[in-house]
Amino acid sequence: MAQREDLRELQTRLADRLSQARNQTAVGASWLAVKISGKNFLLPLSQSGEVLGWSGVEPVPYTKPWMLGVTSIRGILLTVVDLARMLGLPVSRSEQVFAGASVVALNPMMGVNAAVFVEQLEGLRGSNDFSQSKDKPADAPEFFGALYTSASGEQWQELNLQLLANAPDFLDITV
């Protein structure tokens, strides 16, 4: 029970900070740091919407395996995408993983009612949290941004959610 309350508290703080970040004109980039299939990813705050704890989805038949289903956030239906599967990353999830998982909605201003499934929220990051950055790998999907390295040596891959939302593969969910 305490773990669930901690998750709710984290989500509330993140939602508040996301709201503050949208209302400020920040000089440096700001991201929501998440883990997807054990990999570190950065989601731009300006492209992110609400963050909710995992409560399951309603499966949709005849869709690609990475389309987990639909969920309702404040009465709006969103498709929930499993980026790990979409990117071809190894996926093995236990009940414990789902208990700590979240859904990050794309910013409604993008005009796409979608959200991404993330296994773990890692907090907020700014450009001062990283010691170096380099361009995305040549063979990376078009929606990958720069690759950042933290002072501790961890690699963080930026995801451009706007480019993801406009990617033909992302928009074509049917099999």
Give residue limits of the domains in the chain.
Answer: 2-56+82-168
pLDDT tens-digit map of 123-161: 999 999 999 999 998 899 999 999 999 999 999 999 999
CA pair distance 62, 77, nearest whole angstrom:
18
CA pair distance 118, 98, nearest whole angstrom:
9
In the prediction, which pLDDT does 23 show?
A: 52
Q: Mean of the pLDDT values across residues 4-24?
A: 68
- Consecutive H or E run containing 5: helix 2-23
Give the ranges where 51-157 is alpha helix by DSSP (H). Answer: 83-86, 95-100
